[in-house]
Structure 1
Amino acid sequence: MNGILLPSADGGLRLYRPSAAPLGPFGGGPARSRIFHAAAHVAAAPATPPERGGPVVDWEATLGFRHRLWALGLGVAEAMDTAQRGMGLGWPEAAELIHRSAGEARAVGGRIVCGAGTDQLRPGRVHSLAAITAAYGEQLAHIEGCGAGAVLMASRALAAAARGPEDYLEVYGTLLRQSSRPVVLHWLGPVFDPQLAGYWGHDDLDEATDLLVKIVAEHPRKVDGVKVSLLDAEREKDLRRRLPAGVRCYTGDDHHYPELIAGDGELASDALLGIFDPIAPIAARAALALDREDPGGFRALLDPTVELARHLFAPPTPFYKTGVVLLAWLAGYQEHFTMLAGLESARSLPHLARAYELADQLGLFPDPERAGGRMRRLLAEQGVGA
């Protein structure tokens, strides 16, 4: 393949020559030693008819991508922040996404969990705890009615309304008593969403951790696990040591995931990660290395992906979805680089160019020629010669 002139952050151009061979066919199945969930993105339709007035999902591409994850033996974490919850995807669309994906999962025996939140409440207002609990309850009932497990996502509405830790105890306690099956509790830090600062009623992270552990300890049979997205590996290790036996720690740390999943010889994290969307073929192979009790092989596969992950999740971290969707388009998993709410423009062209380069070096593009051609087209549309 001919070289591509890629824009650099300093305003210059550099010649990149794609060279990595694509990964070969995957011949394994679901891992036994860890649970690996990929938080999956949604593909937006290329144009929204004026009469619709809201976001339009490309269902064929969106569901097709989930089937690729299941074929790799990975689970799907549906309607999470990677799917642009609160950043273009509202509750009506998320409810339909959950319904459709849960049905597809049943058809193929795929693992799925789905995000329950409070995003049907009008933003910019302070809502009562009763209204917040009811909103959570509506989404929880919908997910369980679709036959899926739920992830209780951190709520912007609760963060705004709570007067202290006792309000979190009240809301989460009610929801856990209502749930018909164990759920995953999600601690999403302010690096991902600044509106979630002070979650669990404390700005001090030690005190916040104490409150989360207290909630789990009071309802251990209703909590499958805790997903931690703080980008703080040592805090996650401390939390998983304090969880009751049988309660999983799902890492949501897209910076330190190889060491957290590999474990310390006594405890290890399972995974529910946005980075597993673009690196799914490598994550699936790494999971099987753990099944073979080959931690060295696991790290040899997953460690090289960290540079891409840290690039995609660089500040402002909430816009990591833009790079994820770019790579899905370049890989041929959807036919356009379009996102809900126009977020395809949320990252700079040099940032996207570097994401392409790193993904190509990992062999993540099944057809490197197609990926290179699409990258050239994107650059040309922005006035960058190739």
Structure 2
Amino acid sequence: MIRLPGADGQLYTYVPGSAGAAAGGGEEPTREGVGAPLVSRTVFAAAHVVADPLADTSPDGPSAVDWDATLAFRRHLWAHGLGVAEAMDTAQRGMGLEWERAAELIRRSAAEARAVGGRIACGVGTDQLSVADGRSPAQLRDRIRAAYEEQLALTEETGAQAILMASRALAAAARGPEEYAEIYGALLRQAARPVILHWLGPMFDPALEGYWGSTDLDEATDTFLAIIAAQPEKVDGVKVSLLDADREVALRRRLPPGVRCYTGDDFHYPELVAGDEQGHSDALLGVFDPLAPVAARAVRQLDEGGARGRAAFRATLDPTVPLARHLFAPPTRYYKTGVVLLAWLAGHQDHFTMVGGLQSARSLPHLARAYELADGIGLFPDPERAAARMRQLLAVQGVTR
């Protein structure tokens, strides 16, 4: 038994589970390197970084990464057959991980992907820039394009696929949709291979309010689709992170043939990936970082085809949704804290320390509920270890009863 703090501040008794059923009984796939590929869907997990807990730094100082543990976690994702979406917001881009360290992360992870044969796509942004750097709007737009170009060149040099991420600097500087079209059009023309375009909603980053030139989502969608339609051969797919399933389906149905929709909806992913008679979403999800084993198993069930495969897929993945909705509850941008907590409890790292001290971004009752939900679906390979580590965290916070 373990005593956990509830949202009302009172302690309650919880009895941990006895087997990590969702985690596959604690077994990593036996095949070296990359697991058997998923067939019916293309699936990326946006991976977190493991901080170096012994580094002498501060929240506003340079980030410190435990490279061995960080790369080991990527091998865990590849071993299950998932692709790795690297240096995304799950890796704390713009929330503690500065561009210099992100560039090193891209180089190291891309080299590891080549070594094991894993699929990798990497975030390309403009986080070399300060949003308020004192320049005129025209000068800032030139710098935004140059920043994107620098990151695109580095990513493509590593052999990784590029994910063109939303830019805080562009959101601040752009005067209308035409400036998004100009910058993204130039980047697509330069890209050596098809890229993934990322629409990240303001619930994930408030600085991205009004992206694509309008706070009206219908107008923003029209601009987004026009950019894609101008060069569809340069767009592998779009990642949509708006937490609005109906809007994603409507956008998905308007994409040019051959352009994928990668859901970034951590609330509605089972229904979006399952799809309907008019199509489906592939996946690029932060929640698939902790859910990798169960997500891979669900897609393999979907690979079997037919109504039976679809039903098995939903039966496997639907029970994970309450955990996902809890992790991504407002303020959604702090979901990374719960993701790293679960990585520690599952044994993928030896500590609960985050870049920038972000382990303090969620309350103890929130973390306790994340533990309970994850344990309740059998996510931990070793439930006893997870419970012991949760007790350690509680004790540090003064919960000793």
Instruction: Please classify the TM superposition score into its range, dividing by the shorter chain length.
Output: over 0.9
Cα distance in 1 for residues equivalent to 2:320 and 2:28: 18
- Displacement of 1:26 after TM fit? 5.8
Equivalence map 1:246-257=2 (5 Å):
246-257=258-269
**Cross-structure match for 1:319:** 334
Equivalence map 1:69-148=2 (5 Å):
69-125=77-133, 128-148=140-160
**Cross-structure match for 2:348:** 333
**Cross-structure match for 2:6:** 8
- Asked if residue 232 in structure 1 is aligned to residue 244 in structure 2, the reply is yes
Amino acid paired to 1:19: G
SS in 1 for 2:253: helix
- Is contact 1:33-1:290 (8 Å) kept? yes
User: Alpha-carbon deviations, 1:61-120, whole Å to 9, x = none?
Assistant: 100000000000000000000000000001000000000000000111101000000000
- Is contact 2:57-2:63 (8 Å) kept? no
The TM-score with structure 2 as length reference comes to: 0.94
Which of 33, 39, 50 is 1:32 aligned to? 39
- Displacement of 1:358 after TM fit? 0.7
- Asked if residue 363 in structure 1 is aligned to residue 378 in structure 2, the reply is yes
SS in 2 for 1:278: coil
**Cross-structure match for 1:349:** 364
- Is contact 1:20-1:360 (8 Å) kept? no
**Cross-structure match for 2:290:** 278
- Is contact 1:21-1:363 (8 Å) kept? yes
Task: From the superposition, tell whether residues 104 and 351 of structure 1 become closer, same or farther in structure 2 (CA, over 3 Å).
Answer: same
| 46-55 or 269-278: bigger deviation | 46-55
Cα distance in 2 for residues equivalent to 1:192 and 1:94: 19
Amino acid paired to 1:164: G
**Cross-structure match for 2:315:** 300
| 126-135 or 11-20: bigger deviation | 126-135
- Displacement of 1:338 after TM fit? 0.2
Cα distance in 1 for residues equivalent to 2:173 and 2:263: 27
The TM-score with structure 1 as length reference comes to: 0.97
- Asked if residue 200 in structure 1 is aligned to residue 212 in structure 2, the reply is yes
Cα distance in 1 for residues equivalent to 2:357 and 2:8: 25
- Displacement of 1:266 after TM fit? 2.2
Equivalence map 1:169-248=2 (5 Å):
169-248=181-260
- Is contact 1:156-1:196 (8 Å) kept? yes
- Is contact 1:38-1:274 (8 Å) kept? yes
User: Alpha-carbon deviations, 1:18-70, whole Å to 9, x = none?
Assistant: 12411323656221110010000000000323599511101111000000000
Which of 265, 269, 281 is 2:277 aligned to? 265
SS in 1 for 2:349: coil
- Is contact 2:131-2:172 (8 Å) kept? no
Cα distance in 1 for residues equivalent to 2:57 and 2:119: 36
- Displacement of 1:385 after TM fit? 1.7
Task: From the superposition, tell whether residues 161 and 108 of structure 1 become closer, same or farther in structure 2 (CA, over 3 Å).
Answer: same
Cα distance in 2 for residues equivalent to 1:94 and 1:274: 17
**Cross-structure match for 2:32:** none
Cα distance in 2 for residues equivalent to 1:156 and 1:53: 21
User: Alpha-carbon deviations, 1:251-282, whole Å to 9, x = none?
Assistant: 00000000000001220000000000011110
Give me the identity figure in percent: 69
- Is contact 2:261-2:281 (8 Å) kept? yes
SS in 2 for 1:318: helix
- Asked if residue 385 in structure 1 is aligned to residue 393 in structure 2, the reply is no
Which of 18, 21, 44 is 2:19 aligned to? 21
- Is contact 1:42-1:62 (8 Å) kept? yes
- Displacement of 1:365 after TM fit? 1.0
- Asked if residue 150 in structure 1 is aligned to residue 162 in structure 2, the reply is yes
Cα distance in 2 for residues equivalent to 1:26 and 1:236: 33
- Is contact 2:253-2:278 (8 Å) kept? no
Which of 55, 61, 64 is 1:48 aligned to? 55
Amino acid paired to 1:230: L
Cα distance in 1 for residues equivalent to 2:236 and 2:163: 9
Cα distance in 2 for residues equivalent to 1:213 and 1:102: 30
- Displacement of 1:361 after TM fit? 1.2
Cα distance in 2 for residues equivalent to 1:35 and 1:143: 20
SS in 2 for 1:215: helix
Amino acid paired to 2:63: P
